[in-house]
């Protein structure tokens, strides 16, 4: 859950009773495991190519630096604050979160949002100051946090935000370990380039989901509370007037 000052302090719970972070925590462990196994696999494959089959028996020494990199990466990821992760994702030092530009930038760009209806719901002109924009958006979010669409995009954003933090740590520590345990410098630099590509792609996806999270809150709010368009008044059709017809004379 994103607070007014931009930090994730709490997480709403879904129907299963688990917080959003608990729902995707296992995915982060899979990401760590895959990156660790990939580093070890690249080191072993290159060692076999250079030293032959005997590298299978001597390659166990590569487990030590890989294991150290795993432990350090896990610890440092836990030390990364929500603010630091937001800076990595949105590449801004101040006012990093998209909530700081919720009304001035993102609301007017999303075709799902009725800006006039949103201003009526807000009850005043939209704030211009980034901090005030984030606070105003957060108040709207609190009213919509249990909406299914909001909860889903919030979960996706948190997962990719944390994955971005992992990618940054992987690049530094797994990259250093790779250069140490991979015999070929060329293969080591290629591995480092792959880590950089992983960071770039995941960061962009996290940025997109973060913006989508902000706009989905506003769109669902306007869609829920915007007054329905007035129905056109019923029109009555005038019937053509017909002159009365005298009944025929009856003979007595």
What is the predicted pLDDT for the residue at 232? 57
**What are the helix (H) ranges across 127-174?**
130-144, 148-169
On whether residue 218 sits in a domain, the answer given is yes
On whether residue 160 sits in a domain, the answer given is yes
What is the predicted pLDDT for the residue at 88? 94
Nearest C-alpha neighbor of 86 from the set 216, 218, 210:
210
On whether residue 238 sits in a domain, the answer given is no
Note down pLDDT in tens along the chain; length 252 residues.
455 334 444 455 554 567 777 788 888 888 888 888 888 888 777 554 444 444 444 444 555 555 565 666 667 667 788 899 999 999 999 999 999 999 999 999 999 998 888 888 888 888 899 999 999 999 999 999 999 999 999 999 999 999 999 999 899 988 988 888 887 888 889 999 999 999 999 999 999 999 999 999 999 988 776 555 455 555 555 555 555 555 555 554
On whether residue 104 sits in a domain, the answer given is yes
Q: What is the largest CA-CA distance in the chain?
A: 133
> Length of the chain, please?
252
What is the predicted pLDDT for the residue at 4? 39
On whether residue 146 sits in a domain, the answer given is yes
What is the predicted pLDDT for the residue at 71? 67
Is pTM beyond 0.85? Reply is no
Q: What are phi and psi of 8, to 5 degrees?
A: -85, 105
Residue 70: both structure tokens together: 């795993």
User: What's the CA gap between 191 and 11, in Å, rounded?
Assistant: 36
Domain tally, the chain: 1
Structural domain boundaries, residue 214: 20-225
On whether residue 249 sits in a domain, the answer given is no
On whether residue 239 sits in a domain, the answer given is no
On whether residue 207 sits in a domain, the answer given is yes
């Amino acid at each position: 859950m994103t607070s007014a000052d931009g930090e994730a302090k709490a997480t709403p719970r879904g129907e299963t009773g688990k917080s959003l972070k608990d729902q995707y925590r296992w995915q982060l462990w899979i990401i760590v495991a895959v990156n660790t196994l990939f580093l070890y696999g690249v080191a072993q494959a290159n060692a076999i190519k250079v030293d032959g089959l005997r590298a299978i028996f001597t390659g166990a020494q590569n487990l030590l630096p890989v294991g150290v990199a795993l432990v350090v990466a896990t610890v440092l990821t836990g030390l990364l604050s929500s603010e630091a992760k937001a800076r990595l994702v949105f590449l801004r030092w101040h006012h990093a979160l998209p909530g700081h530009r919720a009304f001035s930038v993102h609301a007017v760009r999303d075709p799902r949002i009725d800006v006039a209806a949103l201003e009526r719901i807000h009850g005043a002109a939209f704030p211009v100051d980034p901090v005030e924009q984030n606070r105003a958006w957060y108040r709207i979010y609190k009213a919509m946090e249990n909406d299914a669409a909001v909860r889903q995009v919030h979960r996706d954003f948190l997962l990719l935000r944390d994955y971005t933090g992992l990618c940054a740590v992987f690049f530094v520590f797994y990259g250093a370990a790779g250069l140490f345990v991979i015999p070929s410098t060329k293969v080591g630099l290629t591995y480092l380039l792959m880590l950089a590509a992983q960071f770039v792609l995941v960061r962009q996806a996290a940025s997109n989901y973060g913006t989508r999270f902000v706009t989905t809150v506003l769109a669902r709010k306007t869609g829920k509370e915007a007054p329905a368009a007035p129905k056109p008044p019923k029109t009555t059709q005038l019937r053509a007037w017909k002159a009365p017809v005298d009944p025929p004379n009856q003979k007595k």
